[in-house]
Amino acid sequence: MTKRVVVAMSGGVDSSVAAALMVEQGYDVVGIMMRLWAEDGDNARGHNRCCTPDQMDDARRIADMLGIPFYVLDTRDVFKGAIVQFFIDRYAAGDTPNPCLECNRHIRFEWLLNNALSLDADYLATGHYARIRQAEDGAFQLLKGLDDAKDQSYVLSVMGQAQLSKVMFPVGEYTKPQVRELAAKFGLPVASKHDSQDLCFLPDNNYRTFLRRHREQIAQPGPIMTRAGAVLGEHTGLVDYTIGQRKGLGVAAAEPLYVIGADPARNALIVGTADELGRDSLTATRVSWVSGAAPSEPIEAQVKIRYKAKPMPAMVTPLSATRVSVQFEDKLRDITAGQGAVFYAGEVCLGGGIIERPAI
């Protein structure tokens, strides 16, 4: 019997080529697009940037060209609750969250995957740049995409064995230029379409403006303080600052000062010297391991602390099934609470967790 694959379509070149490859390989293909939450009224255009009417039209047109059925799933409420509210709440708590990790954890590879399986699908395929390999012992491995510049394994590190056994990444074996060439070969009108950027639910790409609208206390002025408690000035709202920021603080000191943290309870921005900014360790929580089980002892790994960061050598020590400590060889200046710490062994993604806020 022909295997059925549901393809998550966005109207972009990657998911369109993924669908075309699945058709070419003989699968029974169904296209699905999620309609995600967007702000209403004067503050927004009324559409999430991942699913505007134009993008829906593009996805539907591609599906028609490929001769596959196409459906739009209303995901607005679940997306708002699991992703948008999470984003707002974590910023209010002093973190800098990565909503793409949460979207893959709760929406794409939970909610959408379950919907795909309810349509009697054998697999869900997406346009992510990553690869899945089954090892000799039958376990599934998550690998970086062949195009290192486009690799998305960082935001897929939340996936486990149950998800990887039911998911396919057709474009992960190609570079972006090759994907565009495939789109042209298939005659798809999106071959030269620009890539989407930034967070899909921000109408103007400005997360600070968005957060000011949705959580006023994040934008309230407060003290700029040292770790020792000395007040040096006043900030304009914690949302306006990022870890490592030096410019725009408006305080004078004997040596340059940088943002090293925040204390939401006091609405205080914490600043310090370059030496105070750098850290050579972190603790991560909500850790998930692709294999399904934490290592029984410390492991050497390369660790990414941001989506576009360079993997750095480190020792990862399990503290529990869902918590680890990470010790780097050198100090890093941009370890940021709320971001993902993702662990690699070469091209294999081992898993990852969320960086905890250190004591200030």
From residue 6, alpha-carbon distances to 19, 68, 97, 267 in Å are 9, 10, 29, 46
200 is a catalytic site residue: yes
Q: Tell which residue, 225, 218, 226, 272, has the closest CA to residue 246.
A: 272
Distance CA 242, CA 330 (A): 21
Q: What is the dihedral of CA 49, 51, 55, 61, to 10 degrees?
A: 170
Set 50, 51, 100, 103: catalytic member: 103
Distance CA 360, CA 274 (A): 15
DSSP bridge pairs for 324:
284, 318
Q: How many residues does the chain have?
A: 360
Set 50, 51, 100, 200: catalytic member: 200
Active site residues: 103, 200
